[in-house]
Amino acid sequence: MDEHESVAERGGGVARQARLMLEAETGKKLVSPQNAKQLRALAQNPSKKAGGKA
């Protein structure tokens, strides 16, 4: 299980760096309050799709 956590942490770090690089390159934020709200809703109810439709 520790190996899975380590891989997940590394993957999250890679994704974070990619997001930060893209934001720096485009000058735009990728995470907005609106899409963050959708992500929270999805995390609370994984049976729904990201678009809010079942």
Q: What is the 3-state secondary structure (H, E, C) of 9-27?
A: HHHHHHHHHHHHHHHHHHC
| pLDDT the model gives residue 12 | 92
pTM of the shown model: 0.55
Tell me how far apart the alpha carbons of residues 16 and 22 are, in angstroms, rounded to a whole number. 10
- Residue extents of the structural domains in the chain: 2-44
pLDDT, tens digit (0-9, with 9 covering 90-100), for 1-54: 888 999 999 999 999 999 999 999 999 988 888 777 887 888 888 776 555 454
Q: Are 42 and 48 in contact (CB under 8 A)?
A: yes
| pLDDT the model gives residue 33 | 80
| pLDDT the model gives residue 54 | 47
Residue 23 Cα to chain centre, angstroms: 14
Q: How many CB atoms lie within 10 A of CB 20?
A: 11
Among candidates 3, 31, 2, which has minimal Cα distance to 15?
31
